[in-house]
Structure 1
């Protein structure tokens, strides 16, 4: 699905030489492509975390896994250092994503909670159950 937007949207038009603006627009085009990739990657990631949420809900596992979360934060901080990105930014970014995932997992757990059924009556005693 394509949405119309102006890739040259800027409040800088008329304030700088056109060659400079063209270079700026070219760089921003690359940023726009990366942003689009990030959105699609996040959507794909959330498809998998939704599967995790349904699995946890079916087996009455808690929405949050602090051990996993801590390990992931450490892992992303290491990756950030390797990529010359501030590890603190990577941690903030992942914490934001984790908070969303936990919110989704709680909602899934509520939606998929087993419905309490009335106790069945039978002539069978406890030893027969």
Structure 2
């Protein structure tokens, strides 16, 4: 009977971990949505001033910064870099779309300016 009680405790703990994971996943999605709202404003600004969609120097700085943050958080820096590269690729694609459609003239930057994340 002890094995059954231990299994039930494990299932309760599993459910608690999964609830935490679900909450974290929701927070990650909301943070990504906010990040893309900011990078959209950056894309509008770049399009309005005929700036290139990609900024390799900025990308390099961000990768180095994120790799260090990952090391500090005990997360694999290679994973963090792959994740950021995926996000950067999507941001550049958005910036190119904005530039191709009216220079982004129909979309305005959020109040208070933009802290470019790409």
TM (norm. structure 2) is 0.80
Residue 33 of structure 2 corresponds to which residue in structure 1? 43
Instruction: State the SS of the aligned residue for 1:52.
Output: helix
Partners of 1:86 and 1:77 in 2: CA distance: 8
Structure 1 segments unaligned to the other structure (5+ residues): 1-15, 115-129
Counterparts of 1:95 and 1:25 in 2: how far apart (Å)? 33
Is 1:93 the counterpart of 2:83? The answer is yes
Q: Are 1:75 and 2:65 counterparts? A: yes
User: Where does residue 66 of structure 1 map in the other structure?
Assistant: 56
Alpha-carbon offset, residue 21 of structure 1: 1.2
Q: Does 1:108 align with 2:98?
A: yes
Whole-Å separation in 2 of the counterparts to 1:105 and 1:64: 8
TM-score norm. by structure 1 comes to: 0.74
Give structure 2 stretches of 5+ with no counterpart: 1-5, 105-118
Q: Which residue of structure 1 lines up, in the alignment, with residue 113 of structure 2?
A: none
Give the structure with the larger helix fraction: 2
Structural RMSD (CA): 1.5
Q: Give aligned pairs, total.
A: 99
Deviates more, 1:46-55 or 1:105-114: 105-114
Where do 4+ consecutive residues of structure 1 move more than 6 Å? none
Q: Which residue of 1 aligns with 2:42?
A: 52
Question: C-alpha offsets along residues 10-54 of structure 1, whole Å, 9 cap, x if unaligned?
Answer: xxxxxx933211110100111111100000000000000000000
